[in-house]
Each structure stands twice: as C-alpha cells, then as structure tokens.
C-alpha cells in the first residue's frame, strides 16, 4: 500500500514539478534579470554581501584586539590614531566596527531565524487546520499589540540585560508577523487543485505542507525575511542603545552609538560611525527586500 | 579635533540662542541646570543628593560645614556645648529666625524636626544618622537638648546634613505625605514656589532671611528667584549653558571643562575639598570574590591613574587609599598599605595563590574560573570606568562581567545577593561616617553590600563612633582603615571632582559640595543683569 502511495505521490509530484518547472523556468530567469537590472538592488546586494563577509571574517580583518583598551589614546580623531580613530577606551574604531557588525548581524540572524521558524509553523498550522486558526491568530494578535521595545524592556527586567534578552524579544516580536504572512500565502495555495488532488490521494498533512504548500509560499517568506532582517537590526540596535543589549566588552553597533553620545561635540566619530554602519546595512536590506518583492511579483513582471 | 569641537559647540550655542532671542536681555531668575530630579523634597524621606542640593536652600540646619569640609560652624544654633561624657548636646537656638510664611521659628519647631528625623515610626532611611537618641527636648525658649544613649562623635556633621533640616510642624502635618511634593515651609534663604517633577523647581527669596551662616560674606540672599531646571542629556545641558540660557551648573561633562575654561564669559571653578568617591566593593562571602588574592590582584591590576585621566579627562583625582585623603580622620598609614599599580605583581600573586591561566586566558583554581559579576548604576561614568577595569583585569587573567542597570531598577538590584562586586560613588564628611555606613555588620545587606561581618571591625567602628575625644576616634577609625585596606575589600578608584561653571551674569557663586550640593545655600550669589 505504502509503495503504491509512494508511486502515486511520486508521479503526482513529478507531474506537479514538471508543471511548476514549465511555468517557473522562464519566470525564474526573468526574476533574476529584473533583480539585476535594478542598480539600487545590485548596490544593496553588494553591501549586504560585504557586510556579511566583514562580519564573518572580523577576527582576521581587525587590526587590533577588540577588547584591549589604551587609555592613553582615547577619543582620537580619524587619522590621528588608526584610520577611523579610537573610542572612549582607546580601542581602534575599525576593529570595534567590524566586531560590532558581527554581533549586530548575528543578533539579527538569530532573531529572524527563531522568529520566522516559529511564526512559519504557526502560520502553516493556522492555515491548514481551520479549527486552530482562531485561537492561534488571536494569540498572534495579542503579541502584535506589544511593541518590540516593550518586549525588550520586559525580558531584560526578568533575565537581565544582554544579547539573549534582545534575541528573545526580537524573536517574539517577529513570530506574529511571520505567522500572518505565512497563513495568508498558505491559504491561497490551499485553494489550488493540486492540493485537493494530493488530499484525495491520501497524502499526510505534513507531506502536503512540506511538499506543496511550503515551496509555493517560499517567495513571500523570503521577501519578508529580507525586509524583517533590516527591521530587526534597527530594533536590536535601539535596544542596545538603551543598554539592554550586548554588555561590555562586547562590541555592538547600537551600544557603540550610545557610548559615543557623551562625546558628541568633541569626538563625533565615536557615535556617528556605528550609526552610519547601521544606516547602511538596514538600508541595504530594505532595498534588497523591496527589489526581491518586485522581482518575485508576477504582476509587476508583466 | 579641538577646532571641530569648538565649532560644534559654537553652532549648538548659536542654534539654541537663536531659539530664545529675548531671554538674555531680561532680568531673568537664576537658572541652575542639573541632570536629575529627586523623588521628593522631604528632608527625612530622600537620600538623593538631588534632594539635598535644593533642601539646603529651602531649609536650615542647626550647624553648617565650612568650605574646608572639616569645620563645623553655627547655623540656626548660635552656639553649643557637649557634655564631658559626649551624650548630651546643648544647642542655643537663634530667636530671629522666621519661616517662609512669616511665622517665627521656635525651639519647639527644631525639637519637632529632629524628633521626626530619628523617630523609628517615620521609617526614615537616614534616621540612623541621628545616633542612639534618648531624648530631644526644649529647655526654655532658646535651648535644645539632644540627649544620646551613647556618645556619637559624628553627630555634629550629621546635624549639618539636609536630613536634619528644621521644618515647619504645621506645614508637615497639614500636607502629610505631600510635604516636599506639593509644598514646603522652611527657614532657608529661598522659599518653595512650584515643582514640576523632572522639569523644574522654582524658588523665591525668603524676604525675612538675615541669618545666613558666617561662611558666607553676606547673610542675606541676593537673588529674587531661582529655577532649578532638569536637562537629563549632558550635551544639551552644555549647549544651554553655552547659549547662556541658564546661569550655572555643576553637572557639566568633564570633557567640556577645558573648552569652557577657554571661552570668554564663563567662570569655571573647582572645589578642592569635595568628597565624592568612586569605588568597587567585593562581596567577601561569594566564590572568587572571597579570595583575598583576587581582591588584591584587582587592586594591583587596575590602572587607577589612567582611569582618572581618561574617564574624567584629567579632572578627577586618583584615590590612593580606601578613603579620600581630604576627609576628617584620614589615616595616612593605611594609604601607604594600599597596593600600587603593578600588573606583573598581580599576575605573580595570582600564580602563587594557585590561580593558573586557562586555555582562554582566564585563570582557574580547583575548577573555578577567576570570574565575577559587577553590578552598578548605568550613569555617564560607570560604563567607561567598569570597561576600563574590565580590560585591566583581563590582562592578568581575571574575567570581570559587567551588569549595569538603569537608575530606576539599580537600587533594587543592588539590594539583592545576585552580584559578586559592585560599583558605587558616594559623598561623605568623615571617615567614621563612611566606614560605619558601609562596614558595620548591622548594615548588611545594604549599604554593607560587601557582607563584611567582622567583630574587630564592629568594635573599632563603635569605638570611633562613641569616642569623646579626637585622639581615641582617630586611632579607632585609623585601625579600621588599615584593617580594610589590608583585606582589599574595596578597589578605591577616583575622587569625583566638583566643578561649578557659571556665566558672566553670575558673580559670587562659590563651589561648596556638602553631600553633593555644589551651591549649598546659594548665598553671596548676585546677578549682574
């Protein structure tokens, strides 16, 4: 019986795959073409790749120890000591920016991953099982009513300030957003005939979701993740700016901007440089997310 | 860089000035800028220096402290005597004093105020400062008897603090919990007009006031109105002073002082005798922090001189000892015993104590990492001080974890047993006061956050507090200083300086600094225009 189902499934899957391939082969090509024809998107992509590479290779790229201080050389202007000067502890700004970027991107990655995985599961469950939809989505509505900053404050008050608190707060704040996006996309997919066919063939719910629903929701999810990444970085930096994020001596861009605000008139680079990096990274993710959305939208491609 | 900062300052100043073109032309109140407000202004209910700095203007105390921070001078009490056994203080109270509402102050008002301070029923957080009181009573119409169960050598200095302010009984009883919130009636040089929390507190001249302490040239207030204005952000505060939107502040960021000294139209002065010390205290009954070698190594590995220069921009004073050398009864021999900066010596000490470097560079002993957590308040200085210490300790293989808290939750966190060490700054007037406050075992868990319980310390502290002569007191409190220095319970860091910055509209402003009050009574201050 099992082998028969597998054969049918395999056949259906192959047929579907063929249909999808036939339909999507030219589409994928045009989507990439559309993405790369957008100069802004290309610049954003390059910035994102550079940021990821800089963060990944920070220990090898950094010219000095990120945690070693030099109190004799504090608040030196760019060019005076090091290319971008030093901070309030006399640490090289390039080094701190590289490690700060690393922490910020890791924070964003962790938050988006946990938030999106959980939100995705909830979204699929809510779409696939109408009986669960009401309670799950009302819970998501409740979560949506709390701003991420408030989550951060509450979690930092319970567990103490730190990167973990920020990641938990941002993950929770991401869950309802992802759940809504996934549920919306999945509901559309679930109306399709091939889902009806798969059900009539006796495929398990999990198999239907993983094999047919998920792949057809991926483009919407991918766009959301890209856009959310930029938002999460900004929110994380804001929480760190308030002292709830990474604790010393860890470098984090929001915390670095906060550290420099006491010297804004005298050593503006300490605050301005990390702020500029946050600006550039968030902008890059947002532009890329927008471009991806346009590229993957069949109506716009027409 | 200097040019850039001067340009930025000038631009900020010009921008703020442009926003209020008429302000500088008018005879405006004296505006004093500060960064934080108090929760209330009832003398017995707030320990905040932000309350004290205003209360000294609103109310008087029986005695005052001179600018040297060591000499007791008359206040509302013209004179006083202390009985040979040190238990009975007899104050002769002035008869020419009036409250802001015009009612003459009587000795009964003074008795009421002091009883209110020390009465356990009022649950004042500062009642212990009044000593073991047996009775406070009036004798005749101008004599106040303050009787103790045991001598208390610090009493006169405590009497000069704002907690012992004389207030109007009628006002206190009519306002109840709102006294110092909705209104105030004292005998100070200035009277309460209006308080908008976290914005401003407005005072006006007490028209009756002629009894200012002799530490001032003129016993009468010279300014009609005073506004204590809150600007939490120090860059904005600096720009406001630069634009002459305000007249005076002692909350100017240290980084700006050199620039302010160079700008014409401003005076910058320092109170040399100001005592407000920063230290890190170890909780001596916690793992790692309970090892004297770790504590001593922390003292040796911390470059206090560099912290003083870099964090306070050369305006701070390195603390060479447990207590400030300027304080009454400072013991120099204890200062000589304080470990000097010697990172190599610290590493050697740790090696000898069995703390061996681990794979990650952090030392270990019996499976325990040389790691401890420090709690503190997240203010403008603590993050930088703690990070500098953290980097210094890391160099000798000690991992210091920093957890700084917003002021709204910090005091609650500092009352827990969660941390291994804590960062703190505090004002004090005598060695006996400081050490009794922090090291008496009865003060565990707070403010004795070290959990220091030692019979010898308690005996010596009691001996110092109850001494009836200077020599006995100095010997006893000197012995405590030596004992605690040898135990390395604290890492004394920096004495925070008091700098008063005033515009050229102000003359006669002189830095005082008793319990953090930079302008104290605000007498002798005049406005030129």
CA dist B409 and A120 (Å) reads: 36
- Answer whether residue A296 shows pLDDT above 90: no
Interface of A with B (CB under 8 A): 67-69, 71-72, 74-77, 80, 88-90, 157, 160-161, 243, 247-249, 259, 261-268
Closest-CA distance, A198 to chain B, in angstroms, reads 56
- Answer whether residue A15 shows pLDDT above 80: no
Closest-CA distance, A202 to chain B, in angstroms, reads 56
Interface test with B, best of A75, A262, A264 (most B CBs within 10 A): A262
pLDDT value of position B47: 87
Name chain B contacts of A243, Cβ cutoff 8 Å.
378, 404, 406
Partner-chain contact B4 A247, CB within 8 Å: no
pLDDT value of position B8: 53
Closest-CA distance, A170 to chain B, in angstroms, reads 20
Interface of B with A (CB under 8 A): 1, 4-5, 8-9, 12, 234-235, 238, 253, 255-256, 259, 303, 306-307, 309-311, 378, 380, 383-384, 386-388, 390-392, 394-395, 401-406, 409
Closest-CA distance, B253 to chain A, in angstroms, reads 8
Of the candidates A69, A259, A265, the beta carbon closest to that of B388 is on: A69
Name chain A contacts of B394, Cβ cutoff 8 Å.
67-68, 249
pLDDT value of position A149: 85
Chain B's closest residue to A85, CA to CA, is B1
pLDDT value of position A31: 73
Chain A's closest residue to B258, CA to CA, is A266
What does pLDDT average to over chain B? 93
Of the candidates A67, A259, A261, the beta carbon closest to that of B394 is on: A67
Name chain B contacts of A72, Cβ cutoff 8 Å.
306, 310
- Answer whether residue A3 shows pLDDT above 50: no
Interface test with B, best of A67, A70, A71 (most B CBs within 10 A): A71
Read out DSSP for B485-513?
HHHT-EEEEEEPPEEEEEETTEES-----
Of the candidates B259, B307, B386, the beta carbon closest to that of A71 is on: B307
Of the candidates B255, B306, B402, the beta carbon closest to that of A248 is on: B402
Specify the long-range contacts of residues B234-241, CB closer than 8 Å, at least 24 apart: B234/A262, B234/B35, B234/B380, B235/A261, B235/A262, B235/A264, B235/A265, B235/B12, B237/B33, B237/B35, B238/A265, B238/B9, B238/B12, B239/B9, B239/B12, B239/B13, B239/B15, B239/B16, B240/B16, B240/B33, B241/B33, B241/B266, B241/B501, B241/B503
Percent of chain A surpassing pLDDT 70 = 88
Q: Residue B430: CB partners within 8 Å, gap ≥ 6? A: B154, B157, B327, B328, B329
- Per-residue pLDDT tens digits for B6-36: 555 555 555 544 444 444 445 689 999 999 8
Q: Which of B5-14, B123-132, B205-214, B374-383 has the lowest mean pLDDT?
A: B5-14
**What is the Cα gyration radius of chain A?**
23
Confidence of residue A152 (pLDDT cuts 50, 70, 90): confident
B66 phi, psi to nearest 5 deg: -70, 170
Chain B's closest residue to A244, CA to CA, is B405
Closest-CA distance, B186 to chain A, in angstroms, reads 38
Are the C-beta atoms of residues A12 and A197 closer than 8 Å to each other? yes
pLDDT value of position B9: 54
Average pLDDT over residues B155-166: 97
Closest-CA distance, A42 to chain B, in angstroms, reads 36
Whole-number Cα distances in Å, A254 to A76, A287, B131: 20, 21, 48
Nearest one of B57, B67, B53 to B250, comparing CA atoms: B53
Percent of chain B surpassing pLDDT 70 = 95
Partner-chain contact B235 A71, CB within 8 Å: no
Chain pair A-B, CB pairs under 8 angstroms: 81
- Per-residue pLDDT tens digits for B253-298: 999 999 999 999 999 999 988 999 999 999 999 999 999 999 999 9
pLDDT value of position A17: 42
Structural domain total, chain A = 1
Domain containing residue A92: 2-70+78-301
Of the candidates B234, B310, B394, the beta carbon closest to that of A71 is on: B310
pLDDT top residue among A293 and B251: B251
Average pLDDT over residues A5-14: 40
Closest-CA distance, A83 to chain B, in angstroms, reads 15
Look at phi and psi of residue A243 and say left if phi exceeds 0, alpha if psi is from -120 to 50, else beta.
left
Q: What is the ipTM of this complex?
A: 0.80
pLDDT top residue among A78 and A22: A78
Of the candidates B401, B402, B409, the beta carbon closest to that of A157 is on: B409
Name chain A contacts of B401, Cβ cutoff 8 Å.
247
Interface test with B, best of A69, A72, A240 (most B CBs within 10 A): A69
Of the candidates A160, A243, A261, the beta carbon closest to that of B378 is on: A243
Structure tokens at B176: 């109840």
- Answer whether residue B529 shows pLDDT above 90: no
- Per-residue pLDDT tens digits for B35-78: 989 989 999 998 889 999 999 999 999 999 999 999 999 999 99
Confidence of residue B3 (pLDDT cuts 50, 70, 90): low
- Answer whether residue B2 shows pLDDT above 70: no
- Answer whether residue B223 shows pLDDT above 90: yes
Residue B104 DSSP class:
B
Partner-chain contact B387 A161, CB within 8 Å: no
Whole-number Cα distances in Å, B95 to A58, B73, B108, B213, B427: 74, 17, 12, 15, 32
Closest-CA distance, B419 to chain A, in angstroms, reads 12
- Answer whether residue B422 shows pLDDT above 80: yes
Name chain B contacts of A260, Cβ cutoff 8 Å.
none
Name chain B contacts of A268, Cβ cutoff 8 Å.
4, 8
Of the candidates A75, A88, A265, the beta carbon closest to that of B12 is on: A265
Question: Does the domain made of B276-495 have the CATH classification 3.40.190.10?
Answer: no
Chain A's closest residue to B306, CA to CA, is A71
Are the C-beta atoms of residues A238 and A249 closer than 8 Å to each other? no
Q: Which helix (H) or strand (E) holds B255?
A: helix B254-262
Q: Which of A149-153, A191-195, B510-514 has the lowest mean pLDDT?
A: A149-153
- Answer whether residue A233 shows pLDDT above 90: yes
CATH assignment of the domain containing A195: 1.10.3720.10
Structure tokens at B77: 């009490």
Sheet holding B363-365, edge to edge: B356-357, B363-365, B368-369
Partner-chain contact A247 B402, CB within 8 Å: yes
Partner-chain contact A77 B1, CB within 8 Å: yes
pLDDT value of position A301: 59
Partner-chain contact A249 B1, CB within 8 Å: no
Name chain B contacts of A263, Cβ cutoff 8 Å.
255
pLDDT top residue among A21 and B486: B486
Partner-chain contact B4 A161, CB within 8 Å: no
pLDDT value of position B29: 96
- Per-residue pLDDT tens digits for B476-525: 999 999 999 999 999 999 998 899 999 999 999 999 999 999 999 999 99
């Amino acid at each position: 019986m099992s082998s028969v189902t597998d054969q049918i499934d395999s056949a259906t899957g192959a047929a579907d795959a063929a249909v999808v391939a036939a339909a999507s082969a030219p589409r994928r090509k045009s989507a990439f073409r559309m993405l790369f024809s957008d100069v802004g998107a290309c610049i954003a992509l390059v910035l994102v790749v550079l940021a990821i590479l800089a963060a990944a290779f920070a220990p090898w790229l950094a010219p000095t120890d990120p945690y070693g201080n030099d109190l004799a050389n504090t608040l030196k202007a760019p060019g005076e000591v090091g290319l971008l000067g030093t901070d309030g502890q006399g640490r090289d700004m390039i080094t701190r920016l590289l490690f700060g970027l690393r922490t910020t991107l890791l924070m964003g990655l962790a938050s988006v991953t946990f938030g999106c995985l959980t939100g995705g599961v909830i979204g699929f469950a809510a779409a696939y099982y109408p009986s669960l939809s009401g309670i799950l989505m009302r819970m998501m509505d409740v979560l949506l009513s709390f701003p991420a900053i408030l989550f951060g404050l509450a979690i930092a008050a319970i567990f103490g300030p730190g990167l973990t608190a920020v990641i938990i707060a941002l993950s929770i704040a991401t869950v309802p957003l992802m759940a809504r996006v996934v549920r919306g996309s999945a509901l559309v997919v679930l109306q399709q005939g091939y889902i009806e066919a798969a059900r009539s063939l006796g495929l398990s719910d999990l198999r239907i979701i993983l094999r047919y629903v998920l792949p057809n929701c991926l483009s919407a999810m991918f766009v959301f993740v890209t856009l959310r990444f930029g938002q999460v970085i900004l929110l994380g930096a804001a929480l760190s700016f308030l002292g709830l994020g990474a604790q010393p001596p860890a470098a984090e861009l929001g915390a670095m901007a906060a550290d420099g605000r006491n010297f804004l008139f005298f050593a503006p680079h300490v605050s301005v440089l990390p702020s500029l990096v946050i600006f550039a990274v968030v902008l890059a993710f947002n532009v890329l997310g927008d471009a991806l959305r346009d590229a993957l939208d069949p109506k716009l491609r027409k | 860089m200097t040019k850039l900062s001067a340009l930025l300052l000038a631009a900020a100043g010009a921008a703020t000035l442009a926003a209020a073109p008429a302000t500088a032309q008018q005879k405006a109140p004296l505006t004093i800028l500060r960064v934080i407000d108090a929760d209330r202004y009832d003398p017995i209910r707030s320990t905040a220096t932000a309350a004290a700095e205003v209360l000294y203007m609103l109310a008087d105390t029986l005695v005052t402290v001179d600018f040297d921070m060591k000499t007791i001078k008359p206040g509302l009490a013209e004179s006083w005597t202390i009985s040979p056994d040190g238990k009975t203080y007899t104050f002769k109270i002035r008869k020419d004093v009036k409250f802001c509402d015009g009612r003459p102050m009587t000795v009964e008002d003074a008795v009421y105020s002091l009883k209110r301070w020390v009465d356990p029923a009022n649950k004042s957080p500062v009642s212990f400062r009044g000593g073991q009181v047996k009775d406070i009573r009036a004798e005749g119409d101008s004599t106040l008897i303050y009787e103790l169960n045991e001598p208390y050598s610090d009493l006169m200095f405590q009497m000069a603090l704002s907690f012992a302010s004389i207030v109007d009984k009628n006002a206190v009883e009519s306002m109840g919990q709102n006294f110092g919130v909705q209104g105030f009636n004292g005998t100070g040089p200035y009277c309460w007009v209006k308080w908008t929390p976290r914005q401003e507190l407005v005072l006006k001249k007490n028209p009756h006031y002629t009894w200012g302490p002799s530490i001032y040239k003129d016993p009468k207030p010279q300014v009609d109105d005073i506004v204590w204005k809150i600007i939490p952000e120090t860059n904005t505060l600096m720009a406001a002073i630069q634009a002459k939107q305000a007249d005076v502040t002692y909350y100017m960021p240290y980084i700006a002082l050199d620039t302010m000294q160079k700008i014409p139209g401003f005076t910058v002065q320092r109170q040399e005798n100001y005592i407000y010390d920063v230290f890190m205290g170890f909780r001596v009954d916690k793992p790692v922090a309970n090892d004297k070698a770790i504590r001593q190594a922390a003292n040796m590995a911390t470059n206090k001189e560099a912290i003083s220069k870099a964090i306070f921009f050369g305006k701070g004073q390195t603390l060479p000892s447990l207590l400030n050398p300027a304080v009454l009864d400072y013991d120099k021999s204890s200062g000589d015993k304080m470990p000097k900066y010697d990172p190599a010596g610290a590493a050697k000490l740790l090696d000898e104590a069995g703390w061996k470097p681990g794979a990650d560079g952090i030392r270990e002993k019996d499976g325990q990492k040389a790691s401890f957590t420090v709690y503190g308040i997240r203010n403008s200085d603590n993050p930088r001080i703690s990070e500098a210490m953290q980097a210094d300790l890391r160099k000798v293989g000690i991992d210091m974890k920093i957890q700084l808290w917003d002021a709204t939750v910090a005091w609650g966190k500092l009352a827990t047993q969660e941390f291994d060490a804590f960062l703190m700054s505090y004002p004090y007037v005598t060695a006996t006061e400081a050490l009794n406050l922090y090291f008496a075992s009865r003060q565990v868990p707070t403010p004795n956050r070290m959990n220091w319980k030692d019979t010898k310390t308690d005996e010596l502290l009691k001996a110092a507090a109850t001494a009836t002569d200077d020599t006995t007191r100095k010997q006893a409190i000197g012995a405590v200083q030596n004992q605690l220095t040898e135990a390395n319970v604290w890492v004394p860091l920096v004495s925070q300086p008091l700098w008063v910055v005033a515009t050229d509209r102000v003359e006669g402003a002189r830095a005082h600094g008793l319990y953090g009050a930079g302008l104290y009574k605000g007498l002798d201050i005049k406005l030129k225009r």
